Structure 1
């Protein structure tokens, strides 16, 4: 399942809020009025280990869900901002 999520082609939400070298296994969800993304973020950049990453870095799981949105682009930008903020706090 991780391999499938690592191969996700839609990378404009959680992964876009992270440094480009970080491995992210994510699954998006969209429908009218909804923009969602959930991800496993591998700070160790190995795409495998959820624990035991580099000292001072932490792997984590994040899910961001929305509803009743008027603008998909604004919702996606908000998800990127949440992702970037989470990364900054945890690293």
Structure 2
């Protein structure tokens, strides 16, 4: 899953198809594009039990309106205290 906006994600995936990829890699990129178009990426966060994200990724669109019963902060030596509040905001 991608942390940016929906249109940004789609542009990046389509740009990947122009790169020098193996057939298997292209198949995975095409599958990601199809899932994106079907709106599947947004629902994945609601279905999975564990989500890993950086504090910086927490305000991104794909994380909007999601809540989790438990948040583990594994960046405490690398961030300031105000940034550590992003995962629980």
Q: TM-score range by the shorter chain?
A: under 0.3
Which structure dedicates a bigger proportion of its chain to strand? 1
Q: TM-score, normalised by structure 1?
A: 0.21
Q: If you compute each CA radius of gyration, which structure gives the higher value, 1 or 2?
A: 2
Q: TM-score, normalised by structure 2?
A: 0.22
Which structure dedicates a bigger proportion of its chain to helix? 2
